[in-house]
Amino acid sequence: MNLTLYKRRRLRQKPHILTIEQSRELGQLVGKKVLKHVADQGLIPINLFRLRKKKLEMIYKYLFDHQLIHDKQPIFESLQTHQLAEYLLNIIYPGYPACKAKNLAYTDYRLCREKDTELIPLAYDYVPTTEVYERLDELYRMNIDWKENTTIEISICTLKRAIDRIRAANFMKPFESIEYHLYFWNSPRTLLKPQCKSLCLNGQEIWSEKKEKIIAEGFMHINITKQLEQSITEKSKKIKLDIKLANNDEYNINHISISAVIKRPTQDLVRDLYLQTATECIAKSIQTSLCPLDTQQIAIHLLKQYQESKDKLKSSENLFLTCLSNTFNKNLSSSEEDDDEDEEEDMVSLVDPVSGTRIQHPVKSLHCKHRSCFDAAIFFDRNADIKLWHCPICLVHIKNTEELRVDYVNKVALAQYPQEEKLFVLQKDTLLSEAEMFGENETILIQEDLKHSLIQDDEAPVQKRLRTLTHVM
């Protein structure tokens, strides 16, 4: 099979926990008339954010009747439509980034609204960002005419009201992760690069090298979170902004706006990668199973365990390991994409190429051809303010988190060999330490390693490694 086509197809299909039949039935339930092709394709994540609450409740009922709910039952009355859509997205597509589905749907929504009303909202959803940031809403917007001076004053009361509104609409999200970004607009659809010479907030210079670097990366915002929050707590009545642009382009600015975004915690992004890889495995297992409904119920049971746990990151790792272990996934261990790896490569590094520390969450892109991985947490920490992502090993372009996969073989090896920094590739899916590969007391070492791993980690998936090692012995 053509691997590039295979990978593209893999990215197009959003992995979910439904059988083909259920996916079609749900597509029909939300209606052919409303959404073109939806009945053929089943549901797709973005469609959930285009539906009315009544339809979403119908989907919930369908999922409930088919025993497919793995999270706590939501209290419908308290949920807004987009919150219910996000809940259903997490049920059907575990690990799929909700902010991405929302963005696409809101672009549609804005375009429709523009036709109906005179009001032209700023094209906030065109603002360049990464998946690390989730857009919330516009906080403040002002039309300006800067022929005289380049100062603006904003009432704190207005800002406070907007912040309260945004917090109420996102009460399930961590407030401490909310950031406030300042934008300059030439027209409702055109953003200007906010390259400043100076930016004073209430007389205090807040323009910095870091802000300049972020704009050089291609972002179009100035992060004013700290100063804004400080001004609000100081109980001043107004915020005064003095802006001096680097290019003397002030006259081109016709609107300024402040918007709220949530910086998604690294831990959540890593957790989603485990979930995403696990869901892909669940989807394949259901599709290839002779008893898809039974396989589906095993998956629901595992997802329930995940939802009930307090430590979501650890629990997502366990879910991932269980799903990808051969007991659950008998025929899928030699998946097609693995054949794309470089056959010549005989070593795998367990050290992150950027930080030089031991990898905890081994990931690589679908398009990478190497066996070694990099650490997802370090990658997200370092790339939050970088617009174009690249694999730190082979520099292949990473468009979004959907292209990243947690590597099962590396993940198991990291638990198996807590002391090793690199391992040798014996055969496909089998990694050995130097002592095992070349040492004389090979068997003893393996046995000791095994004992060690069983004592260290009592999780069932690591024990599955027994299989590979028994085979070597």
Q: Which two tokens stand for residue 68?
A: 């497919």
**Residue pair 66/47 in contact by the 8 Å Cβ criterion:** no
Please choose, out of 101-109, 133-141, 316-324, 366-374, the segment that lies near Zn ion by the rule CB under 5 A: 366-374
Q: Give whichever of 340 and 457 is closer to Zn ion, judged by the CB atom.
A: 340
Please choose, out of 225-233, 265-273, 287-295, 386-394, the segment that lies near Zn ion by the rule CB under 5 A: 386-394
If one asks whether residue 393 binds Zn ion (CB under 5 A), the answer comes out as yes
Q: Give whichever of 14 and 361 is closer to Zn ion, judged by the CB atom.
A: 361
If one asks whether residue 394 binds Zn ion (CB under 5 A), the answer comes out as yes
Q: How far apart are CA 306 and CA 319, in angstroms?
A: 7
Please state the length of the chain. 473
**Residue pair 100/131 in contact by the 8 Å Cβ criterion:** yes
Least distance to Zn ion, CB of residue 320, Å: 20
If one asks whether residue 391 binds Zn ion (CB under 5 A), the answer comes out as yes
Q: Give whichever of 70 and 364 is closer to Zn ion, judged by the CB atom.
A: 364
Please choose, out of 83-91, 233-241, 382-390, 393-401, the segment that lies near Zn ion by the rule CB under 5 A: 393-401
Q: Give whichever of 11 and 20 is closer to Zn ion, judged by the CB atom.
A: 11
Please choose, out of 32-40, 118-126, 181-189, 365-373, the segment that lies near Zn ion by the rule CB under 5 A: 365-373
Q: Give whichever of 43 and 363 is closer to Zn ion, judged by the CB atom.
A: 363
Least distance to Zn ion, CB of residue 394, Å: 3
Please choose, out of 274-282, 378-386, 391-399, 457-465, the segment that lies near Zn ion by the rule CB under 5 A: 391-399
Least distance to Zn ion, CB of residue 175, Å: 36
Q: Which two tokens stand for residue 425?
A: 């590739």
Please choose, out of 35-43, 231-239, 350-358, 394-402, the segment that lies near Zn ion by the rule CB under 5 A: 394-402
Q: Give whichever of 318 and 383 is closer to Zn ion, judged by the CB atom.
A: 383
If one asks whether residue 384 binds Zn ion (CB under 5 A), the answer comes out as no
DSSP SS3 for 217 = coil
Q: Of 107, 250, 255, give the one whose Cα is nearest residue 183.
A: 255
Q: Give whichever of 169 and 396 is closer to Zn ion, judged by the CB atom.
A: 396
Q: How far apart are CA 279 and CA 281, in angstroms?
A: 5
If one asks whether residue 398 binds Zn ion (CB under 5 A), the answer comes out as no
The strand order across the sheet containing 422-427 reads 347-349, 422-427, 430-432
Q: Give whichever of 10 and 167 is closer to Zn ion, judged by the CB atom.
A: 10
**Residue pair 273/401 in contact by the 8 Å Cβ criterion:** yes
If one asks whether residue 368 binds Zn ion (CB under 5 A), the answer comes out as yes
Q: Give whichever of 46 and 391 is closer to Zn ion, judged by the CB atom.
A: 391
Please choose, out of 104-112, 164-172, 323-331, 362-370, the segment that lies near Zn ion by the rule CB under 5 A: 362-370
Question: How many CA atoms does the CB half-sphere of 132 hold within 13 Å?
Answer: 21
Which helix (DSSP H) or strand (DSSP E) does residue 430 occupy? strand 430-432
Least distance to Zn ion, CB of residue 401, Å: 15
Q: Of 355, 338, 472, give the one whose Cα is nearest residue 416.
A: 472
Between the alpha carbon of residue 114 and those of residues 103, 110, 117, the distances in Å are 17, 6, 5
If one asks whether residue 404 binds Zn ion (CB under 5 A), the answer comes out as no
Q: Give whichever of 319 and 359 is closer to Zn ion, judged by the CB atom.
A: 359
DSSP SS3 for 133 = strand
Least distance to Zn ion, CB of residue 443, Å: 35
Q: Which two tokens stand for residue 11?
A: 């990215």
Please choose, out of 24-32, 62-70, 360-368, 404-412, the segment that lies near Zn ion by the rule CB under 5 A: 360-368
If one asks whether residue 454 binds Zn ion (CB under 5 A), the answer comes out as no
282 contacts: CB under 8 Å, gap ≥ 6: 15, 17, 299, 323
Q: Give whichever of 118 and 343 is closer to Zn ion, judged by the CB atom.
A: 343
Per-residue b or e along 190-216, where b marks 16 or more CB atoms closer than 10 Å to that residue's CB: ebbebbbeebbbeeeebbeeebeebbe
Least distance to Zn ion, CB of residue 351, Å: 15
Largest CA distance in the chain: 83
**Residue pair 352/391 in contact by the 8 Å Cβ criterion:** no
Q: How far apart are CA 125 and CA 108, in angstroms?
A: 10
If one asks whether residue 199 binds Zn ion (CB under 5 A), the answer comes out as no
Least distance to Zn ion, CB of residue 385, Å: 21
- What residues line the site for Zn ion (CB under 5 A)? 368, 391, 393-394, 396
